Amino acid sequence: MRRRAERGRLLVGAAGVLTIAMAACSSGDRLQPRIETISPESGDVAGGDPVTIVVRDFADDFTVDLPEVEFGGHPSLSITALFRDTVVATTPRAGAAGPVDVDVRGTAMPHSARRASGFTYTGTPQFPFITALSPPIGPVGTEVDVQGQFFSPTPMENVVRFNGIAAPIIASSATSILTVVPGGATSGPVNVEVVGVPSNDVPFIVSGPRITDLSPAFADYGDAVTITGEDFSPNPSDNIVRFHGTLAAVTASTATTIDTNVPAECITGPVTVEVAGLVSNEVWFCLGSLSTPPPTPTLISLSPPSGPAGASVTITGSDFSSTPSENVVRLSGLRAAATAASPGTLTVDVPSAATTGPVTVSVGGREATGSLSYTVTSPPPPPPAISALYADAGTVWDSVWIDGIEFDADPTNLRVEFDGEPARISSSADTSILVTVPLTSTGLVTVERGGQTSAGVPFTFTGPPAGMGTVDFFGRTFPIPGDRVIYVIDTSGSMFFTFGSYVDRFGNTVTGTRLELVQDRLISSIQALPGTARFNIFRYACNNSSWSSQTDPADAANKASAETWILGMMAFGGTGTGPAVSSALQERQNETVLLVSDGQPNCGASGTLGHTCVILNANDQDAVIHTFGISASGRFREFLEEIARNTNGSYTDIVP
């Protein structure tokens, strides 16, 4: 049976084949779509000229379904319908003067019209122009050759972005830029900026699976976790799931969900899915339980206390796990494999790259108390060595590949610093590391592994991204993606302690409490915000409250209101850092948080691990969190550094 449609509708035959009917014409005398007029027929290579195009015998009604329009194979910048058969299309940039084909393609119906050499570009190009991407599709980490003209042979003068994410540049010439798809990139336009002059956009598809949610995102060893996303494989064995690098068994899967269990030996960190060699984005997972935690393990002794790398040693203590892989042991910062375990003893092998240093143990994310050290008597291994940076200049949040030797495939065994500022490590191997440039200054890049640090390699920090706003706080300048910033201020009881002397915003040397210092610096920061910015303030102890229900414009009236509210802050109660930052992150349009605290969190979540997870799980918009520690040390300082590092923020010490 055949069902016929009228003009412009689909014909569905018995075999399910779709065809197009045009005004009751038979297949033999059907009219073909054609471009009747193009006006004007020429324009400048810079693009931006409106061109009116009339198309006849087209099935689509342009006022209902806008077509796609291309000039010389490049899509129009904007398209507006005038009538059912007439559109105004803005010309894109062209790489050279001369005639180009004009194509109009239907979006509701699969048909098109072309006029060969229908439009002529005039003038001489003086701007960067992309002609092709090779390849035009690939996962994060793919090398891409950006082909075109008017690029700079000096790599640091070119900025390549994949859908807004800056990419590292390996090499460049006037007609080619070799780059790498950066971490966090999604499908969208690729463009090049040369000394502030932008190019045209060319689409790139970031292939591979994508994670959108973990449920739950906070669980213990063996607990079931459902991963939600896209482009997974319906065949469970085709999906490779890792919890911070540790493989997890997949029990069931569809194209959008994966059922798995928290593997033994994993620790708090990112979860990824790999399908057919393509690796997904990272989504944070927290190991532990939101209920009352089990006892904290303790360290008592180490036998023997010295020996060569590769030797077997026994750690005596309490509250270890009887499952060896559930005990995370590190020696001088390097992961050491546990070969046997009981609640009171652990047998581990000293890592081959270990050097003399402290021994630490964590069980289910709980750090053991006590202090042990192991002395390595064998010759030390070679230190890490950097051979090259790709690239050797850039701004904050750029991705940079580091090549060298004696690195480590486990990112947790490494620490990368840019002029002393720790950088977030996206991935690592024995000879390469992918990092994100932190807020830093021009200086040396170093890699540290197991207490050994490489020689520094120069890196030029080019300052905040061009055109991005900034905020000043505690003597540092921070770029603001967007126009919003939220301050989160610890007002727990210890903020009443005396800080010491400092110079206040009026230029006077005064002695005050920690809270008085923060109040002074906070008022100064807000007063300096430009009128185009928006801001809000949260104060917290075990509970938290905010100056406003949303980020408000930084006008004179709001600045005055905020100053009054700030001066009314009082110090009392515990420290609920996680819930406070989580509350601040509920405004999804905000992308910058400035967190100030003077003590380890002690309410609202279980330990520093619990507070870390509360914050990172709430950060759906990938906001940058800059942290400030007042007289911070030990695990508290590590907590603030970890929050900053995992959100591409920076940590600042506040000391007298």
pLDDT tens for residues 497-545?
Answer: 999 999 999 999 999 999 999 999 999 999 999 888 899 999 999 888 9
Over residues 263-296, the pLDDT tens digits come to 876 667 788 898 887 888 777 787 765 444 567 8
What the block records as the tokens of 325 is 């892989």
**What is the mean pLDDT, run by run of 10 residues, along the chain of 656 residues?**
30 34 38 89 89 88 86 85 90 85 82 91 86 87 90 81 84 90 82 84 87 81 89 93 87 95 76 85 69 75 92 94 86 88 94 89 80 90 90 84 89 90 85 88 92 92 78 91 90 93 94 96 95 92 90 94 95 90 87 93 78 83 92 87 89 92
Cβ-count burial of 379 within 10 angstroms (0-12 exposed, 13-18 middle, 19+ buried)? exposed
CA 97 to chain centre: 40
Contact 392, 413 (CB under 8 A): no
Contact 480, 468 (CB under 8 A): yes
Give the Å distances, CA to CA, from 92 to 179, 379, 508, 607.
Answer: 24, 63, 58, 55
Contacts of residues 334-340 at CB distance under 8 Å and 24 or more positions apart, as own/partner, are 334/408, 334/413, 334/449, 334/450, 335/410, 335/412, 335/413, 339/312
What the block records as the tokens of 214 is 């973990």
Starting at the earlier edge strand, list the strands of the sheet with 34-39.
34-39, 50-56, 86-90, 79-83
pLDDT at position 17: 35
Give the 3-state DSSP-derived string for 464-520, with helices as H, strands as E and coil as C. Answer: CCCCCEEEEECCEEEEECCCEEEEEEECCHHHHCEEEEEECCCCCEEEEEHHHHHHH
pLDDT at position 126: 77
Q: Where are the alpha helices (DSSP H) in 571-652?
A: 577-584, 607-618, 634-645
What lies within 8 Å, CB to CB, of 379 at 6+ separation is none
For 599-624, b/e burial (b = at least 16 CB within 10 A) is bbbbbbbbbbbbbbbbbbbbbeeebb
- Listed residue (407, 425, 447, 411) closest to 246, CA to CA: 411
Angle between helices 607-618 and 634-645 (to 10 degrees): 20
CA 492 to chain centre: 31
The span from the CA of 236 to the CA of 255, in Å, is 10
Counting every residue, how long is the chain?
656
Give the 3-state DSSP-derived string for 344-377, with helices as H, strands as E and coil as C. Answer: CEEEEECCCCCCCEEEEEEECCEECECCEEEEEC
**Tokens 């840019």, located at residue:** 418
The span from the CA of 407 to the CA of 430, in Å, is 4
pLDDT at position 527: 95
Q: Is 342 helix (H, G, I), strand (E, B) or coil?
A: coil
As a 3-state breakdown, the chain gives helix, strand, coil percent values, each rounded to 5, of 10, 45, 45
The span from the CA of 321 to the CA of 293, in Å, is 14
* 16 residue type, one letter: G
Whole-structure pTM value: 0.59
pLDDT at position 138: 85
What the block records as the tokens of 120 is 């002529």
Contact 392, 460 (CB under 8 A): yes
Give bridge partners of residue 283 from the DSSP assignment. 271
Give the Å distances, CA to CA, from 89 to 80, 92, 191, 200, 396.
Answer: 7, 9, 21, 16, 37
